[in-house]
Chains A and B, each alone.
Chain A
Amino acid sequence: MTFRALSGLSILVVIVLAAALVRLTVGRVPLEDGTWQIVFGIPVRELLPLRLGATVSALAAGWALGLAGCLLQVLLRNPLASPWILGLSSGAGLGVMIALAIAVLAGVTIPGGGGLMLPAVLGALGALGITWSLGRVNGVLEPLRLLLVGVVVASLAGALSMALQDLVPHGLRADFLDWMMGRIPESPGGGVLGTTLVIAFVVTMVAAFGADRIDLACLGEDEARSSGLDLGRLRSGLFLGAGALTAAAVALVGPIGFVGLLAPHLARLLVGPGHRLLIPATCLAGIAMLLSAEALRQLIDLGGGRLHVGVVTALIGGPFFLWLLCTGRGWTR
């Protein structure tokens, strides 16, 4: 391991630990005038499970989203690829909107935040299935076709979600928009959190063991084939891995943008392009980004409530991505 890689990984680990520390120790207490004061300190026994819940949820979702972004950037050979480019986020949103509309029309209980997880996963998997089946040529995933199908699926799912919004009352539209901005649960369902962690761990292991093959795939189609690499199989593996990671993350925290897009670039900047180190670094970068956003959210009080974590990732991620773009860092070095 080179000094650059070692220092890069160390930086990411330090950021993750610092963000976790902030998330675990920052809270707020109500004042007499109705405002809240931010306080630091070791949480009391009642608060610790809630803060740990949010910290572990951010860790799991950041890990999954970062890795999904990395796999998709290899698969599509496009530095702009992210989990949302294949329509998974829009598909999940459509799933949630369909559930809300059905609940209203059938006069049944509207599922709360936890109840929206299943339709989100079903929507994401539905979009994944469509993109998968239409993105292949002669049974093999073709990156450009996959990208175009993903964009169309995302647009269609987004349009259908908007159309369905007319079927639900304003209050539920607000719920939907709230969900679309992402939220780190303080009390995550054990099943969803556990599933996300297991999927993230398994895909990380598989990707790490296949890092050499991923590196070969990055060289180009002809080079990869001449080296005996089964590109079709590799692409299928990358696609399914990224899809499972994204669906699990969406189920846990909703659609949060920029983490999947930026984490691979940040990791590449710190440890270089080799996937043996890039994969663990991307996982750490994803965790660092989402956990930092969640910690930062704790420090900002706008009066009417806290910022959505998706807003924080976009506000930080957008300028950072522009900086990477303007300086050419992140994918050229």
Chain B
Amino acid sequence: MKSSTRHILRTARVLCWLVLLGCIPGCGDRTSGMDASTSGPQVRIVSLSPALSQILMDLGHQELIVGCTPWAPAGLERVPVVGDLLRPDLERISAVRPDLILVQPTQLGVDPGLAQLAAQRGWAIRSWTLNRLEDIEVVLEELPESLRVAGVDPAPMLSSIQQWRKRRDLLLVPDPKVEALGETVVLFGIDPPMAFGRETYLNDLLESLGGLNAIRAPGYLESSLEDLVVLAPRSVVILATSPGSALEQAAQLRTMLGASAEGLDIHAIDGADLLVPGTRLLDGVQRFRARLEERP
């Protein structure tokens, strides 16, 4: 065998070993070393819902989360990603050894594979829908109890919830500035216009502030520019994940509507907190009201 061939084979062998070493847990990415530790929180929670993660964090139990979705709120960057609502990664979930899994189910319910595995391994699954404002209240009622059963002291949580409720009662009252908006369409996208209809948490928020949703159909609706013109709302509120994006979309909507936008009051709102049905909604409401106060 020629020396060059031998050299190539040796190099290939070394590369193979390197690849094999790379497959050993702990040598790779953020998710690979997650089953290495034996110590950890008293209750190990996997949250497959960014909104439920947010609520848990706001209740002061961020440290219990051992697995989350790629779209978890800021603060969970070092927590392993274990899939998401639609595609839970069962292997990764097994690796973080959860006691409790929090799910915001889709129309199809909880993923059957996850439910089956949870039944086999003895993991508890708690699922809550978060379509309405009252659903958040249900989570705040039931989550402390779920954690108490798992051995977590609920007292600090109950105190946080009390404070949240007080703040809610102060903030969610009829506001003349919101009432002055008149019939309003709340959009979370403009091309095509995506609107919050009735029976959504944002409709509940708007109504509690004294506003009136121009959309009468329930749910999240894809409409058209023509629908917007026909509905003839007095105001349009555009929610986006950043102030820049909201302003940009407002300008774009005005351009697309052309002459029909005359007389239409378009509000661009930084809606990052309003687009997640969790406890941070109140921050979003506060920002929304402050934004309206700024306008003459």
Contacts and interface: CB of A to CB of B under 8 A. Distances in A.
A186 B256 contact: yes
A278 B278 CA distance: 60
A210 interface: no
Interface stretch (A22-30, A73-81, A87-95, A201-209): A22-30
A34 B222 CA distance: 14
Given A34-B197, A49-B259, A114-B252, A27 B219 contact: no
The SS class assigned to the A binding surface is: loop
Interface stretch (A130-138, A234-242, A298-306, A319-327): A298-306
A170 B248 CA distance: 22
B166 interface: no
Interface size range of chain A in the complex: 20 to 34
B21 interface: no
Contacts of B219: 304
B224 A112 contact: no
B46 to A, nearest CB: 18
B225 interface: yes
Nearest to B218: A34
Contacts of A45: 259
Nearest to A175: B189
A113 interface: yes
Interface string A165-199: 01001100001001000010111000000000000
A303 B217 contact: yes
Query: Which of under 10, 10 to 19, 20 to 34, or 35 or more describes the interface residues of B?
Result: 35 or more
B259 A46 contact: yes
B23 interface: no
Contacts of B217: 34-35, 303-304
A30 B256 contact: no
Contacts of B216: 30-34
Given A50-B229, A304-B221, A305-B222, A170 B84 contact: yes
A114 B191 CA distance: 8
Contacts of A183: 192
B245 A30 contact: no
Contact of A109 (B224, B248, B258, B259): B248
A146 B2 CA distance: 42
Interface string A294-333: 0000000001111000000000000000000000000000
A158 to B, nearest CB: 18
B242 A109 contact: yes
Contacts of A306: 222, 224
B85 interface: yes
Nearest to B229: A46
Contacts of B198: 34
A175 B194 CA distance: 11
A299 to B, nearest CB: 14
Contacts of B244: 109
Interface string B243-287: 011001100100111111000000000000000000000000000
B88 to A, nearest CB: 13
Interface in A30-50: 30-36, 45-47, 49-50
A253 B258 CA distance: 20
A93 B192 CA distance: 18
A11 interface: no
B230 interface: yes
Contacts of B256: 186-187
Contacts of A166: 70
Contacts of B252: 112, 114
Interface string B197-224: 1100000000000000001111101111
28 contacts: A27-B230, A28-B230, A30-B231, A31-B216, A32-B216, A34-B198, A34-B217, A35-B217, A46-B259, A47-B226, A47-B260, A49-B258, A50-B224, A50-B225, A109-B244, A110-B241, A112-B191, A112-B249, A113-B192, A169-B71, A170-B84, A178-B192, A183-B192, A186-B225, A187-B255, A304-B221, A304-B222, A305-B222
Pairs A-B, 3 closest by C-beta atoms: A113-B191, A305-B222, A34-B216
